[in-house]
Amino acid sequence: MKSIFEYIDYRRFLLDYYTESKQNKPYFSYRFFSSRAGIKSPVFLKLVIECKRNLTRPMIEKFAKALSFSDKESIYFKHLVLFNQGKTSQEKQEHYLVLKSMVGLVKENIIESDLYEYYDKWYTSVIRELVCQHDFKNQYESIAAKIFPKITPGQAKAALELLLKLRLLVKKSDGTYEQTNRAISSGSSITALAIRNFNRQMVRLAEKALESVPVEKRHVSGITMGISEEGYHVLISEIEAFKERIVNIVNADTKSEKVYQFNVQLFPVTKITGGTNG
């Protein structure tokens, strides 16, 4: 069976653990595991695997003991559980950073970790566009000087190296860069968390732009409106179609010379019926 360090979903690990244990040890059962963990419910493991129950911190320790984990494995398992069960992006990020610090032990999730880094710094995507517009000849000071708000040459160098590592950029024979057509999937919980952080950074930059960028160089507008749930989903479809048209316009623009950030936000400003605003 794969090591716990190769998992980013603790329920998946528990399912694999149960399946393999059942195959190799005919006596193994949910009841046997509960007894081993000192848990009264004979089917608690089953309920956790099926997402019907979560693990509390004391229960995490009982599971780690029943799973015969080493100290290092127990630490990873604890933060993996708390990452998966986190209710806020800040909470998830706190535990993911611990998991990421152990990335040398993680084989399957190295690429996901790199994608986390791609979204974690707002300027990485900016540099991906910028270095394809101008030949900086690897002068990181010049790259950093073009970024607004300002970043350091070291940050520019690290971002460019990451883009090359992920093959989101390739270096041509003449020393200039071009983008690949590689798509970035946002399906994993790690990447989704990073995208939330990325969007948060970009919203903050948009706020600063209201004061720092001349009005003729930016466009900010909004509509406050009353809509139904059905109307909301219609608007989402329209936004997605509009974004596709934006992409087509950008792809047809062969004289690109600046990098802009395009944000679209649609969110409630009254309480949501039957739920909370969190």
The residues facing 178 across adjacent strands are: 170
Which residues are bridge partners to 169 per DSSP? 179
Q: Interhelix angle for 189-212 vs 89-101, to 10°?
A: 120
> Hey, where are the domains in the chain?
4-87
Residue 107 is predicted with a pLDDT of 40
Quick: pLDDT tens for 111-155. Answer: 456 677 788 889 999 999 999 998 888 899 999 999 999 999 999
If one counts every other C-beta atom within 10 angstroms of the C-beta of residue 143, the result is: 23
The Cβ-side half-sphere exposure at 262, using a 13 Å CA radius, reads 11
- Cα–Cα distance between 92 and 180 in angstroms, integer? 31
Average pLDDT value for residue range 167-174: 90
**CATH number for domain 4-87, candidates 3.30.1760, 1.10.150, 2.60.40, 1.10.260:** 1.10.260
Separation of alpha carbons 178 and 237, rounded Å: 31
Q: What is the pLDDT of residue 272?
A: 72
pLDDT tens per residue, range 178-221 = 988 655 555 566 667 778 888 889 999 999 999 999 999 999 99
Encode 147-186 in three state secondary structure.
CCCCCCHHHHHHHHHHHHHCCCEEECCCCCEEECCCCCCC
Q: Is pLDDT of 106 > 50?
A: no
What lies within 8 Å, CB to CB, of 39 at 6+ separation is 59, 62
pLDDT, tens digit, 9 for 90 and up, residues 8-29: 889 999 999 999 999 999 899 9
Is the separation of the CB atoms in 135 and 178 below 8 Å?
Answer: no
Q: Cα dihedral sign for 118, 244, 227, 264?
A: positive
**From the CB of residue 94, how many other CB atoms can be counted at a distance below 10 Å?**
14
Angle at 13 between CA 5 and CA 80, to 5 degrees: 55
pLDDT at 39 (0 to 100): 96
Among the listed residues 113, 109, 202, the one whose alpha carbon sits nearest the alpha carbon of residue 162: 113
φ/ψ of residue 224, rounded to 5: -100, 125
**What is d(CA 190, CA 171) in angstroms, rounded to the nearest whole number?**
28
Q: State whether residue 274 is helix, strand or coil.
A: coil
CA–CA distance, 132 with 246 (Å, rounded to integer): 19
Task: Return the half-sphere exposure (C-beta side, CA atoms, 13 A cut-off) of residue 272.
Answer: 9
Contact indicator for 108, 16 with CB cutoff of 8 Å: no
**Over pLDDT 70: what percentage of the chain?**
90
pLDDT (0 to 100) of residue 76: 92
Cis peptide before 268 (omega within 30 of 0): no
Question: Which DSSP string do the residues of 103-148 spell out, in sequence order?
Answer: GGG-STTHHHHHHHHHHHSHHHHHHHHHTTTS--TT-HHHHHHHSS
